[in-house]
């Protein structure tokens, strides 16, 4: 909760094994419990790895299509906009929405720089 790095299970495991013995199944089970009550969310990035986020303050994510970096985006009234989107989804489809997550994809500044460097070398 104190980090803003969207960790993987491996990252969490490495951080917590300094505090005693722990297995990855415990981490997966704990994360699944946090997800089920809406405190955490699972994010899949371009490398198909799962990252996790503490999700108390409503926000969405932008993900680099090249390196998989994930960044938080806080937008005014995002929670109200998201609720309207869920409501409209229900009206149009008959589904009952239980959760939602918005992801935007693009290139991070570092990958943009690498791309520009390659172009200038050509």
Q: How many CB atoms lie within 10 A of CB 117?
A: 9
99 is in an annotated binding site: no
52 is in an annotated binding site: no
2 is in an annotated binding site: no
Helix or strand (DSSP H, E) at 36: helix 24-36
108 is in an annotated binding site: yes
The pair phi, psi for residue 69, each rounded to 5°, is -60, 140
64 contacts 46 by C-beta, under 8 angstroms: yes
41 contacts 52 by C-beta, under 8 angstroms: yes
- Binding-site residues for Zn(2+), in ranges, read 64, 67, 108, 111
Q: Which residues are annotated binding-site positions? A: 64, 67, 108, 111
């Amino acid at each position: 909760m104190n980090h803003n790095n969207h960790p993987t299970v491996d990252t969490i495991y490495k951080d917590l094994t300094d505090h005693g013995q722990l297995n990855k199944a415990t981490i997966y089970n704990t994360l699944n419990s946090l997800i089920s009550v809406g405190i955490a969310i699972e994010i899949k990035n371009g490398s198909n790895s799962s990252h996790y986020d503490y999700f108390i303050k409503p926000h969405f994510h932008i993900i680099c299509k090249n390196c998989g970096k994930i960044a938080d985006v806080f937008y005014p009234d995002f929670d109200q906009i998201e609720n309207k989107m869920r409501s409209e989804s229900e009206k149009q489809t008959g589904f009952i929405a239980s959760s939602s997550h918005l992801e935007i994809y693009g290139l991070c500044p570092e990958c943009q720089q690498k791309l520009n460097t390659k172009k200038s070398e050509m």
